[in-house]
Structure 1
Amino acid sequence: MTISIAETAETIDTPVLPTTETAKPANVKEVLAFLVSQYPLCFAQDEHIKPLKVGIFQDIAQRLGDDSQISKTQLRQALRVYTSSWRYLDATKEGVSRVDIDGQPAEVIDAQQAEHAAKLLAESKQKAAEKRKARMQEQRAKQPVKAPVAPSDKKRPNKTLVKGSKPVKAAPKAVVPAAKETIATVAPALLTLEPAMLAVGNKVLVKLGQTPMPATIQEVSLPDVTVQLGSGMVIKTRQDSLYQA
């Protein structure tokens, strides 16, 4: 029979004693309950759990004898569940003394054993969390999908009337006059550049966007003309973009 480590916390918390003294334990819970009742100084089912002596299985098997109601297989399974529980692993800390079957101190837990117990505890808790998450996702998947609610076409009132008060008419919206056309800044008309003025070194105006900019002709290769702006930038433009300075 395989026992899940993630389920050991519940296993130890709720032991079930056999119904009679002669009845054989039917499951791991009953075996653990038997061990707690027979060896209370060694086994516990609450926060008083203590780490067990190495080789405790042989001691218990010898104490029970061949006529025991508990088989060695059941005893191994019960000890595996007991020592894998979260409380037991949490109690296995460096410097803590293990106990024998009579509750007497045995060997002291070293750093390596404590680290191993802490690692097993973290892994067990992670597996339990993953199982809970998987169950929740499975439950959500089984829930029926609700149809989206169509938005209401009714408009909500702008203001809530106070009980007993008179309704107040909303002030009419101010009429915004139509925007007047923007009056363009009056600028002098640009004079077309005569072909005779297309010479290297002549000052001209080059129209970039809406604003003409002063420039100096650097090269003429009609219909393209290379000019240098006042900022020092050299650009190539068309002849029809140049005007008299």
Structure 2
Amino acid sequence: MENQPKLNSSKEVIAFLAERFPHCFSAEGEARPLKIGIFQDLVERVEGEMNLSKTQLRSALRLYTSSWRYLYGIKAGAIRVDLDGNACGELDEQHVTHARQQLEEAKARVQAQRAEQQAKKREAAAAAGEQEDAPRRERKPRPPVRRKEGGESKPRNTAKPAANANKAPRAVREEHHTPVSDLSALTVGQSLKVKAGNNAMDATVLEITKDGVRVQLTSGMSMIVRAEHLVF
């Protein structure tokens, strides 16, 4: 037992469960609804294997059952299964309704994040003075200098006032964030921000652990972040 490798993330635990119980868990594709109370069955069957603890099993099960592919599988007529793939009863209507609501809320959060990212890109482009497809002005030829008879020509003042001389400087919008003070108040799938210096990056909660919170950035990268680096 001491020589067994340790699984460090919930994704690794899910991959292990899919290999250990292929008729119950799946690593990809639509997931089958799980038996109510399956956590206790897992504890009895695999606690200690691969140095797994109850906390790891609970976190992995929470991540698995909150994933989009699992929520897609919670539909009318679907049958719950135990660890060996045996049928354990049809889904209740209230469970189907709750899963549909969770799925719609998760989709709405993703759409809101994408819209926010697009708005930030447009603001950054405007602040930098970028204008797409702006026509280039053609320079007009300078008129000839008119000379007076019997005198010297006076130089023309060709200096133009600065285009932006009278314009007020663009105000820089400061974003105010609220620090995360209680990790227990967070939920899987919740949107928040990760502070990195003076910047704050959008992220989604994947898992709450004793060491911090595992989040996924909009770039697809996931990491564990301590509470002091999390804000709303």
Superposition TM-score, scaled by structure 1 size: 0.50
Do the aligned residues in 1 keep the contact of 2:30 with 2:72 (CA within 8 Å)? no
The residue correspondences of 1:50-69 to structure 2 (distance < 5 A) are 50-66=32-48, 69=51
Work out the CA distance in 2 between the residues paired with 1:30 and 1:65: 15
Alpha-carbon offset, residue 67 of structure 1: 5.8
C-alpha separation between the residues in 2 aligned to 1:67 and 1:104?
23
Partner in structure 2 of residue 86 of structure 1: 68
Shift of residue 153, structure 1, vs aligned partner: 7.0
Give the conservation status (yes or no) of the 8 Å contact 2:31–2:69: yes
> Contact (CA 8 Å) 2:7, 2:50: kept in 1 or not?
no
Counterpart selection for 2:4 from 19, 22, 44: 22
- Rounded to whole Å, the distance in 1 between the matches of 2:41 and 2:50 is 14
Structure-1 residue corresponding to 2:93: 111
Q: Matches of 1:123 and 1:109 in 2, distance apart? A: 21
Shift of 1:31: 1.0
Per-residue deviation at 1:150? Answer: 4.8
| 2:224 match | none
- Kindly state the Cα deviation for residue 94 of structure 1 after the two structures are TM-superposed: 1.7
Deviation, 1:149, is 4.1
Matched, 1:146 2:130: yes
The answer on 1:128 being equivalent to 2:105 is no
Note if contact 1:82-1:88 (Cα within 8 Å) is conserved in structure 2: yes
Deviation at 1:137, TM superposition (A): 2.1
Deviation at 1:87, TM superposition (A): 1.1
Return the alpha-carbon distance in structure 1 between the equivalents of residues 130 and 47 of structure 2.
Answer: 64
Match runs of 1:1-245 below 5 Å:
22-66=4-48, 69-143=51-125, 144-146=128-130, 149-152=135-138
Larger Rg: 1
SS in 2 for 1:106: strand
Q: 2-side partners of 1:37 and 1:72: how far apart?
A: 19
- Which amino acid in the other structure matches residue 129 of structure 2? V
Distance 1:139 1:75 in 2: 40
Could you report, residue by residue, the CA deviation over 1:50-91 in whole angstroms, capped at 9, with x for unpaired residues?
A: 010001100001101346511111111111111111111111
Q: Which amino acid aligns with 1:25?
A: L
Secondary structure of the residue aligned to 2:51 is: coil
Q: How many residues align?
A: 134
* Residue-by-residue CA offset, 1:213-244 (whole Å, 9 max, x unaligned): xxxxxxxxxxxxxxxxxxxxxxxxxxxxxxxx
**Pair 61,68 (structure 1): closer, same or farther in 2 beyond 3 Å:** farther
Question: Could you tell me how far apart the structure 1 residues matched to 2:49 and 2:67 are?
Answer: 29
**Contact 1:49–1:88 (CA under 8 A) maintained in structure 2:** yes
Question: Any unmatched runs of 5+ in structure 2?
Answer: 141-232
Distance 1:140 1:85 in 2: 31
- 1:118 corresponds to which letter in structure 2? R
Q: TM-score, normalised by structure 2?
A: 0.53
**Aligned AA for 1:55?**
G
Q: Which amino acid aligns with 2:121?
A: Q
- How far 1:113 sits from its partner (Å)? 1.0
AA aligned opposite 1:145: G
**Which runs of 5 or more structure 1 residues have no equivalent in the other structure?**
1-20, 155-245
Q: Deviations over 1:175-200 (max 9, x none)?
A: xxxxxxxxxxxxxxxxxxxxxxxxxx
Q: Could you say which residue in structure 2 is the equivalent of 1:213?
A: none
Give the structure, 1 or 2, with the largest relative contact order (CA under 8 Å, sep 6 or more): 2
